[in-house]
Structure 1
Amino acid sequence: MSCDSVSTTANTLVGYVNCSSSITFNVTRGSWTSIHPSKKWTLQSTAIDNIVLTEEEKKTWNDSRQALSALKFSPEEEDKILGKAFGHIHSPYWYEERKKEVPRLEVVNEILDYLRSLSLTDDDLTKLVKKFPEVLGCSLEDEMKTNVEILAKQWGIEGKTLRNLLLRNPKVLGYNVDCKGDCVAKCTRCWARF
């Protein structure tokens, strides 16, 4: 039986008619359903297509992408990561406080090198940056190093335990608010989440 004959014989059929490799027609109900499980949609365009940059800024941006190439991201992923980290792509993490800036290779390398100094491998960094791309836009001195010190002094979290924590909850590197239970509406950056 073919799909064309379904319309002429639908009143007498009970069951399913397979019209293609992925769509089945339920004759008794008159509905089409897919027999393949749904798949997640992936972003197929470059994240910086809508960002206006001068030629010099494009060169600076592309240089920064090179720092991420060791982590084996696609060019589209690199652009999306840098866009989120430096305010070009909206991220709830920043609220509206992140000013757009062009990422600089030195800054990206400095942050990646610091993260490596915390016993994170390139595979760990890939997972961390994929989970929390905004880490590349956090302040190394004012947030990341300070927060690692807080974790060590107040909670005794160092070494392998720190590595495991950062892989599980990398946002801790960017916390810069401690509301101490009196909410200041900056929950994505508050130590209360820890």
Structure 2
Amino acid sequence: MKIVIINYGAGNIQSILFAIERLGYSAVLTNNPDEIKAADKVIFPGVGEASYAMKMLKESGLDTLIPTLKQPVLGICLGMQLMCNHTEEGNTTGLGIFDVNVIKFTPKVKVPQMGWNTIYDLKSDLFKDVAEKEYMYLVHSFYAPLCQETIATTDYELPYSSALENENFFGTQFHPEKSGDVGEQILKNFLLLTPNF
């Protein structure tokens, strides 16, 4: 199985690579469109600021490539947010894969939300063998509201989407690669998905 991690200058790439290796797989870090298109599974990571990340995607043409991919694609953290229509962070237009706009938590709560929080109302093969209310690791100041594509929910100030799914595209607001055994189970489930889209 060929696994590609899209390398466009985002952080957290090494930790994803190590998590995949712990599961017994290997992955390629690349921004080469042909390699990305040829992959069986694509991981779209993200740590950083949305408008800068989108600028990097546009410079390499990945902003037009990613929405056309047909294999399973997993966006993580900022990667998931960039797959939405728009984010308030830097007033950034996203890739339009998930039909929701990302907004900022209000000043009533501490941002970023940093640390462990539970996921519940799990609705996807991505969460096979994962129990309700498991704790996942999160670091974010912006969130995707609940919508038709929500497949996991987390509460912080209000319930929001901690995971999204649209056909072959998946996104997690939490970091599975930093979430212990449960996070590794979610990564494993992603790698074992059989496309039926």
TM-score, normalised on structure 2?
0.22
More strand by share: 2
Q: Which has the higher contact order (CA 8 A, sep 6+)?
A: 2
TM-score, normalised on structure 1?
0.22
